A and B are shown apart, each in its own frame.
Chain A
Amino acid sequence: MYSPEFFLMQGANGLIMGCLYALMALGLTLIFSVLKVINFAHGEFYMIGGYTAYFLVSVVGGVNPLVGVIFAMAVLLVIGSLFEVSFLRPMHLGSVDRPAEYAILVTFGLSFFLQNLVLALAGPFPHRTSSFMAGGIKIGVLTLSADRLIAAGLSLVLMAALLLFVRKTWTGKAMRAVSQDKDAASVTGINPLSMNNIAFAIGASLAGASGALIAPIFSVVPDVGVLPSLRAFIIVVLGGMGSIKGAIIGGIVIGLVESLGAGLIPDPSRALAYRELYGLIIFVLVLLFRPRGLFGEAA
């Protein structure tokens, strides 16, 4: 039947994909935990991250792809911050009757806008930045694509950096305070509005980093963010909204489930086509038994 190497290959692929997914989900969960907003433009931040890296590395040229990732993160920090202050701040100033609907709608509009703007400006053809490193890397009995391995590694580094930031720095702790209790936090002198802005900007830049890391592997098109966006939602809720640990573990679970499902289910007419469904099924099952997600806070 299936050899152990085969399982290992599928599993390794799933793990790598999971790390990449987790980074993007992390950005989304951060935004939700601090601003209480479901960001429907998250996929477009990912897409812009990819295009920005492509622009710097391949169009301007002569730059290491890693610099492209950092540049993408910087650009998304700015875009995220500007958007938050222009469109999301009114929610937190109390002038919106229905903040939940408002946030979803305004980020939805942003998503339409960005997808089609990039299409109009950058054209319809796919693009790809050059690889971090071409070829494969042998680890024991497995041959893994170097690109993916490096991207997964960098994702882990970024996720670790975020964890450190949230746990050890003052700003990180302030953000956590706001996410737990906005009013109590403001009493202690933390400005929730600034924290919102920082959280949204960082969340956007994590999505951008994800896009910039994945762009050399999969290439970018204006609607490349649609699928990852949906997947990020699933991961975030699966892991428990607002839980960083949940986003990371949720990402890896979904990555594994997708790859193993697509590779191991014996019906070829459905195995790959239902790839996205496996994650949805796991998601539904987990939620039914743990309505707050794996690591979400209890009521």
Chain B
Amino acid sequence: MKRLLVVAVVLVGLVAVGAMAADEGPIKIGVVLPMSPPGAYASGNPMWWAVLQAVQEVNEAGGIFGREVVAILGDTRGVPEEARAATERLINKDNVVGIVGNYHSSCALAELDLFKNYHIPYIGAEPWADDVTAKGYDEVFRISITNSMYTDITVDWMVAAGFKRIATVHEITDYALGLEKKLTAAWNEAGIYSEITFTDVKTEDFTPTLINFSQWDPPADMMYGGVTGPGAYRILKQSYDIGLAPSPDTVFYGTNACLNPEVWEVAGEAAKYIVVTQIGLPPSAYTEVTKTENAKFQKAYGRLMNSTVMEGYDSFMLMCEAIKFAGSTHPDAIIDALEVMEWTGMRGTYSFLYGSTNPVPEDQPDYMWHQWPDVSEYLLQYTEVGQSPEDATVVWPPVFSELPEGQYFIPVPEE
């Protein structure tokens, strides 16, 4: 009997040591982003820099449970098959405890099955397609806006501001296609006339289509430039050069690529008076975290973080915080933690309203599962050439707007 006890103690001791050994070493978190062509590397790269900033901070504060935190990059190149390969590698070769990231919705959607099958928690940084969370996978969370939420807020503005004839160009990419369907439906419902022109995202010259738009009689009151990347600046400049928009008759609406300083370098004075969406808090509502992290980033990289870049920082930090809250790197513990915790990051205070303990009710859309419900979106308008987005005028929503009541945008003055 005594011998049995000794053996049992020794066995338990070995198992405990074995388990501890398995829990030693750095905590690895995977990051999937488009870092090289043909992906949107101009977004993926700064998001990665933001992740590195987060990694440095976490480790300077002593890591998690005294262990170093390591971010491992998987370059999706914007191709879903590569995204799957990169994710497989992170999960099965690098043995990460969680994954954050994605800019491209198509890549995120291709990876979902892997998160489910291998039971790895995932926080989506910037994939907008509703389906990412609408599928209701336990492992999948999202802190970015969804196509539907974006459409609701943006169309509210368009209706309030009285736009009736919108000339649009949409790029043929995953997020834009999903968005276009919702926008068109919402515009139809609101009685807004629009003509949908699709374009390849790499198109250099939009002029033929813009010339067509400039023939509209009566003229369009808004030019919706639904192109991201370098195309966003080109379409703006070309639209301005032929006198279409921004003009006294026509407002130019640009994607969040227009939040970058490149908009001034490439489009120049064409960018004055454009309206741009920012998915995040307006400067008047910045948290302490927003201010400190943004200043730090600007010091290191010479540019401010836009909302997409902030999502890189926030998604990684949130994963770290979830591990701390859970007290463990076990996937179930992390998932449970994410479902109940709250954490204030750069874009607000994160929490996930609906999850396994609080299922999505019938009257709420499916995508609200594990979706951050308080994603803030605001619209800004540049009023000076070379202006930083932080100095631009906030025009929507009314609670943040800096315009007098009843005014929803600043019209371009007549020459």
Chains A and B share a contact (CB less than 8 Å): yes
Taking a contact as CB atoms under 8 Å apart, the answer to whether A219 and B233 are in contact is yes
Contact for B37 among A134, A223, A264, CB less than 8 A:
A223
Contact for B208 among A13, A115, A126, CB less than 8 A:
A13
Interface bits B277-297 vs A (CB < 8 Å: 1, else 0): 000000000000000000000
Contact for B42 among A126, A128, A270, CB less than 8 A:
A126
Taking a contact as CB atoms under 8 Å apart, the answer to whether B37 and A269 are in contact is no
* Most chain B CB neighbours (cut-off 10 Å) among A116, A125, A134: A125
Taking a contact as CB atoms under 8 Å apart, the answer to whether B45 and A123 are in contact is yes
Q: For residues 228 through 242 of chain A, which have their beta carbon under 8 Å from a beta carbon of chain B?
A: none
| A126-B209 in contact given A223-B38, A268-B197, A275-B203 (Cβ < 8 Å) | no
What is the CB-to-nearest-CB distance from B243 to chain A, in angstroms, rounded to a whole number?
8
Task: Confirm or deny: B113 has a beta carbon within 8 angstroms of a beta carbon on chain A.
Answer: no
Q: For residues 90 through 147 of chain A, which have their beta carbon under 8 Å from a beta carbon of chain B?
A: 115-116, 119, 123-128, 134, 136, 143, 145
Taking a contact as CB atoms under 8 Å apart, the answer to whether B202 and A273 are in contact is no
Taking a contact as CB atoms under 8 Å apart, the answer to whether A126 and B211 are in contact is no
Residue of B nearest to A6 (CB): B215
* Most chain B CB neighbours (cut-off 10 Å) among A17, A116, A119, A124: A124
Residue of B nearest to A136 (CB): B241
Residues from chain B with Cβ under 8 Å of A227 in the complex: 202, 204
Contact for A263 among B45, B46, B212, CB less than 8 A:
B212
What is the CB-to-nearest-CB distance from B271 to chain A, in angstroms, rounded to a whole number?
12
Task: Confirm or deny: A271 has a beta carbon within 8 angstroms of a beta carbon on chain B.
Answer: yes
What is the CB-to-nearest-CB distance from A142 to chain B, in angstroms, rounded to a whole number?
11
Contact for B202 among A17, A226, A261, CB less than 8 A:
A226
Task: Confirm or deny: A197 has a beta carbon within 8 angstroms of a beta carbon on chain B.
Answer: no
Q: How far is the CA of A116 from the CA of B75 in the complex (A)?
A: 13
Taking a contact as CB atoms under 8 Å apart, the answer to whether A219 and B197 are in contact is no
Q: For residues 243 through 299 of chain A, which have their beta carbon under 8 Å from a beta carbon of chain B?
A: 258-264, 268-273, 275-276
Residues from chain A with Cβ under 8 Å of B211 in the complex: 6, 9-10, 13, 263
Taking a contact as CB atoms under 8 Å apart, the answer to whether B196 and A268 are in contact is yes
Residues from chain A with Cβ under 8 Å of B207 in the complex: 13, 259, 263
Residues from chain B with Cβ under 8 Å of A2 in the complex: 215
Tally A-B pairs: CB < 8 A: 113
How many B residues have CB within 8 A of the partner chain? Answer: 39
Q: How far is the CA of A6 from the CA of B211 in the complex (A)?
A: 8
What is the CB-to-nearest-CB distance from A11 to chain B, in angstroms, rounded to a whole number?
10
Task: Confirm or deny: A65 has a beta carbon within 8 angstroms of a beta carbon on chain B.
Answer: no
Task: Confirm or deny: B370 has a beta carbon within 8 angstroms of a beta carbon on chain A.
Answer: no
Taking a contact as CB atoms under 8 Å apart, the answer to whether A124 and B209 are in contact is no
Residue of A nearest to B195 (CB): A268
Taking a contact as CB atoms under 8 Å apart, the answer to whether A127 and B265 are in contact is yes
* Most chain A CB neighbours (cut-off 10 Å) among B41, B205, B234, B266: B205
Residue of A nearest to B212 (CB): A263
What is the CB-to-nearest-CB distance from A65 to chain B, in angstroms, rounded to a whole number?
14
Residues from chain A with Cβ under 8 Å of B37 in the complex: 115-116, 119, 222-223, 226
Interface bits A208-233 vs B (CB < 8 Å: 1, else 0): 00000010001101111011000000
Taking a contact as CB atoms under 8 Å apart, the answer to whether A262 and B209 are in contact is yes
What is the CB-to-nearest-CB distance from B38 to chain A, in angstroms, rounded to a whole number?
7
Task: Confirm or deny: B36 has a beta carbon within 8 angstroms of a beta carbon on chain A.
Answer: yes
Taking a contact as CB atoms under 8 Å apart, the answer to whether B203 and A272 are in contact is yes
| A271-B197 in contact given A13-B208, A116-B36, A260-B208 (Cβ < 8 Å) | yes
Contact for B262 among A119, A126, A268, CB less than 8 A:
A126
Task: Confirm or deny: B206 has a beta carbon within 8 angstroms of a beta carbon on chain A.
Answer: yes
Residue of B nearest to A145 (CB): B241
Which A residues have a C-beta under 8 Å from some C-beta of B? 2-3, 6, 9-10, 13, 17, 115-116, 119, 123-128, 134, 136, 143, 145, 214, 218-219, 221-224, 226-227, 258-264, 268-273, 275-276
Besides A116-B37, A219-B233, A261-B208, 9 new A-B residue pairs in contact (Cβ under 8 A), listed by A number: A13-B211, A124-B45, A126-B230, A127-B265, A218-B234, A226-B202, A260-B208, A271-B208, A275-B203
